[in-house]
Amino acid sequence: MKARKNDSAVLLITCPDQKGLVAAVSGELYRFGANIIHADQHQDHDAGLFFMRVEWSLGNGGGEAAFDIQAFSEAFAPIAARFGMDSQLHVGTIRPRVAIFVSQHLHCLADLLHRHQMGELDCEIPLIISNHTDGEALARFYGIPFHSIPLAAANKAEGEARQFALLESAGVDLIVLARYMQILSPEFVRRYPASVINVHHSFLPAFIGARPYHAAYTRGVKLIGATSHYVTEELDDGPIIEQDVTRISHRDQVQDLIAKGRDLERVVLSRAVRWHLDRRILRYGNKTVIFD
């Protein structure tokens, strides 16, 4: 029987590809009595890199002895150093805390809140931040505190300072931009490296900017898409997590493209958030490895 998420731990590894990696990791887990429930690995031969994800039961229930995560972490540190590993150890009993940023388009926000309520997103959502008030009623319906912080060029630094205070007070681990139509400052991105996920209403790198569906309609394309990606200081150029497309025809007008695009945006953003929460993503350079 597969362990519940909160009864498991996940180890993510990135390191130079070399012999003995799998044996070293699995052997140490075996030595601590781990019951591995999922393991996956990938090699990027061109980059000479090895990636691995291992999930195992913590044994908190069902008659199993509890896995000593602290002792394992200490014992694994010399192995990580020997192989030059960049490793992350995550425990399922600690639920990530997620802040959602939104502007006036509420379809992605509504989708995320519904999926969270249904148990699809294993996290806490302590707050929603917006530069408009449109989402306040929706936040109130789901019982999540809503903070409206108007932003303009003249007060952007002041507004972001208020956002930082809220995020730090709430102990936020991940920020999701659910059609938040503001460009984050370099300082904001540096504060939360690899911890901000955006959805772009286009199949990046095509049709960047604020009106991609209009540009796609003008170009007469037959496919439109949406992209979820990590945010970096370079606009719309962060590592891509997920993309999806749908076909359109000459009969479709701009509003049809926008309506179909909204469905894609909901799907690709929720997948990206779920995979991040499930610790299935490893980022390297400007690329990602997404484990099954």
Q: What are the chain's domains?
A: 5-91 (3.30.70.260), 97-290 (3.40.50.170)
236 is catalytic: yes
| Residue 191 neighbours by CB distance under 10 Å | 17
Give the span between the Cα atoms of 113 and 120, in whole angstroms. Answer: 10
pLDDT at residue 3 is higher than 60: no
Tell me what the mean pLDDT of segment 234-250 comes to: 92
Q: Which residue's entry shows tokens 């359109």? A: 248
Residues 6+ apart with CB under 8 A from 227: 199, 200, 202, 203, 204, 240, 242, 243, 268
At 152 the pLDDT is: 86
What integer is the mean pLDDT of 178-189? 95
- pLDDT at 115 > cutoff 50: yes
Q: Is the pLDDT of residue 286 over 90?
A: yes
Q: How confident is the model at residue 1 (pLDDT cuts 50, 70, 90)?
A: very low
Looking at residue 217, its pLDDT comes to 87
Tens-digit pLDDT profile for residues 133-162: 999 999 999 999 999 999 988 889 999 999
Report pLDDT for 6.
66
Mean pLDDT in residue range 83-91:
96
**What's the predicted TM-score (pTM) here?**
0.92
Distance CA 64, CA 206 (A): 51
pLDDT, mean over the chain = 92
Percent of the chain with pLDDT over 70: 95
On the question of pLDDT at 205 being above 70, the answer is no
pLDDT for 4 beyond 80: no
Short-list 223, 201, 222, CA closest to 212: 201
Which of 7, 111, 173, 236 is catalytic? The answer is 236
Separation of alpha carbons 34 and 65, rounded Å? 10
- Residue 46, class by beta-carbon neighbours within 10 Å (0-12 exposed, 13-18 middle, 19+ buried)? exposed
